[in-house]
Amino acid sequence: MKFLKLTSIKPSRGMALAAVAVLSALAVGATFSTLFNFRSSGGSLSAYLIGAANGRNHTCFGTACGPTYDPLAGSDTIEVVVRLGNPTNVALKAIIAVYRDGDTFRGCVQKTVDPNAYRDVKLVQLFGLYDTEDFTVKVLTRDFANKVQAGVKGWLTHFTAETFDSYSESGSFSQNRFLHMHETELKEVPLEVLRAGEADKLIALLPDCLPDT
Amino acid sequence: MGFLDFAKQKPRLLLLGVIVASALAVGFTYTKFFVFPSSGGSLSPYLLGYYDLRTDDCIGAACAGQNEDTQRHADRAGIMTNRTDVAIDLSNPTRTVLRALISVFDDAGTVIACTTRPVESNDTARVFVNNDILIPFLGSNGDGKFGVIKVVTFLEANILTAVQAGVKGWLTHYVSESDDGGHQLIFTRQSQMQQVPVEVLKRNSNAELGTIAELCL
């Protein structure tokens, strides 16, 4: 990685000020405003994240229905992707577990999430969650001393393939699929819930967890 | 803008005028009793998001493309995922003018690009990861890359020396797909930039901020 070489920079006032600002920040460190402005009052980290995943092999969601020309609409495909990012300077290990119908364990996988790194898991591909059920996704993070440690943020993305009729300009017909998608954040759960036994339960899954690949 | 002529107003309007004039004169008050107090809301100078510029036609088990019934027609290309980009929207609900340093990392956690944007009071700044950051910075298209995005906000008047909370953020992924009939559609998904406690930023050391700042400027 290259660094600023001040001698090669034209000595304009703006550049000089920028250089001074960078050098000041590097030398004495950035300061954090506390007076006359808004204090940082937010942001959160939890070692326990939860998300809701939905399988789909039908064309109606409640009263909202898609096209009915395909009686085997269940042939359309879905995917649910868990995405994790680590904003801290501590490498973490994540246990990603999927449950169905309450406490029915459906699958588990481990992922290492290094500082500033990004990892994702495709739940349907990995665990075969292709049916009409709803699933709960849980993520527990630990450090490399195997202690429960917060530090990962998460998102959950649903992809749904939708088949439709398509006619080209020449009049040829085909049925094609687009991918619809929606996304939300994994929700952070208080540490007390982990302490009340949930952490032990998730860690006990480790022998059944797929290894990080 | 005209002012109330009290002599011509009905009593109800007069009362309204007195209320407005009082509010303007002494400032608004905030109710503390008998109603629900403000119990939420948060600000952090450190936001985390992600970008995914992969253009695969299959996302795990979910595939765009042709239906099984027509896959035998080899001359039909089916659905093609063309291009993707990710918009970062930053809004500033405060009265303080801020500057955001937006850094983009690869999936392994190495910073690969950065840019800055002023975010003025009540302003919304929109930046595209591929179009506005990766392509200008790397000189090449960022298709296929994915990783995390960090946003750190500073006082505009003291860039790099005064970290200051005050910006909320959203992420929108855009994916354009086309079929062999010449139709093209844009699909989107949206989520939030997530707030990280300022303590994490302090703990991450000034070396990282310095590296980001050097790349950004």
**Per-residue CA distances from A13 to A10, A17, A28 (Å):** 9, 6, 22
Q: Is B48 on the interface with A (CB under 8 A)?
A: yes
Mutant choice from B189, B203, B215 vs A, greatest count of A C-beta within 10 A? B189
In one-letter notation, the amino acid at residue B204 is: N
CA distance A129 to A55: 7
The predicted structure's pLDDT at residue B146: 97
Q: Which residue of B lies nearest to A78 if distances are taken between CA atoms? A: B62
Position A213 scores a pLDDT of: 83
Q: Which residue of B has its CA nearest to A115?
A: B109
For residues B187 and B175, the answer to whether their CB atoms sit within 8 Å is yes
Among residues of chain B, what percentage have pLDDT more than 70? 77
What is the residue extent of each domain of chain A? 48-208
Q: pLDDT, tens digit, for every residue of A133-184?
A: 789 999 999 999 999 999 999 999 999 887 776 666 677 776 677 888 999 9
Tokens of A138: 């849980």
Q: Which amino acid appears at position A15 of this protein?
A: M
- Measure CB to CB from residue A44 to each of B45, B197, B214 and give the nearest one: B197
pTM (predicted TM-score): 0.81
B56 touches A at CB < 8 Å: no
Using a CB-CB distance cutoff of 8 angstroms, which residues of chain A are in contact with residue B191? 155, 183-185
Contact in structure between A58 and A96 (CB atoms under 8 Å): no
Domains and CATH numbers, chain B: 46-216 (2.60.290.11)
Instruction: State the pLDDT at residue B75.
Output: 45
Cβ proximity of B192 and B172 under 8 Å: no
ipTM exceeding 0.90, yes/no? no
Task: Identify all chain A residues contacting B62, using CB atoms and an 8 Å cutoff.
Answer: 77-79, 124, 159-161, 179
> Secondary structure of chain A in the HEC alphabet?
CCCCCHHHCCCCHHHHHHHHHHHHHHHHCCEECCCCCCCCCCCCCCCEEEEEEECCCCCEECCEECCCCCCCHHHCCEEEEEEEECCCCCCEEEEEEEEECCCEEEEEEEEEECCCCEEEEEHHHHHCCCCCCEEEEEEEEECCCCCECCCCEEEEEEEEEEEEEEECCCCCEEEEEEEEEEEEECEECCHHHHHHHHHHHHHCCHHHCECCC
> Is the Cβ pair B182, A83 closer than 8 Å?
no
Q: Determine which of A54, A118, A149, A160 to mutate to test the interface with B (most B C-beta atoms within 10 Å).
A: A118
Fold of A48-208: Hypothetical Protein Tm1070; Chain: A (2.60.290)
Structure confidence at residue A5 (pLDDT): 44
What pLDDT does residue B24 have?
Answer: 66
H or E segment at B46?
strand B46-52
Residue A1 clears pLDDT 50, i.e. is over it: no
Q: Which residues pair with A175 in a beta bridge?
A: A165
Interface contact B111-A176, CB threshold 8 A = no
Average pLDDT over residues B96-104: 95
Q: How confident is the model at residue A74 (pLDDT cuts 50, 70, 90)?
A: very low
> Which residues of B are less than 8 Å from A21 in CB distance?
159-161, 217
Are A19 and A9 within 8 A, CB to CB?
A: yes
Cβ atoms of B100 and B117 closer than 8 Å: yes
* Residue A160 to residue B62, Cβ atoms within 8 A: yes
Query: What tens digit of pLDDT does each residue of B140-154 get?
Result: 999 999 999 999 999
* A contacts of B202 (beta carbons < 8 Å): 32
Best CA proximity match to A136, nearest among A31, A79, A198, A53: A53
Q: What are the distances in angstroms from CA A33 to CA B22, B69, B118, B210? A: 33, 63, 17, 18
Give the tens place of pLDDT for each residue, B27-73.
666 655 656 666 678 899 999 999 999 988 888 888 877 654 444 44
Binary contact (A176, B213; C-beta < 8 A): no
Mean pLDDT value across residues A71-95: 84
- Which residue does chain B place closest to A89, by CA atoms? B204
Q: Which of A41, A88, A177 sits opposite B63 (nearest CB)?
A: A177
Residue B81 per-residue DSSP state: E
Secondary structure of B100-134 in HEC code, one letter for each residue: EEEEEECCCCCEEEEEEEEECCCCEEEEEHHHHHH
**Token pair for residue A36?**
């006359």
> Residue A130 and residue A54: Cα distance in Å, rounded?
9
d(CA B134, CA B113): 6
Chain B nearest CA to A152, separation (Å): 10
Q: Alpha-carbon distance A98 to A106, whole Å? A: 5
pLDDT digits (tens, 9 = 90+) for A42-61: 789 999 999 999 876 666 77
Lowest mean pLDDT among A105-109, B54-58, B128-132: B54-58
Q: Which B residues, 119 through 178, put their C-beta within 8 Å of a C-beta on chain A?
A: 146-148, 150, 154-155, 159-166, 173, 175, 177
- Backbone dihedral angles phi then psi of residue A13, each to the nearest 5 degrees: -65, -40
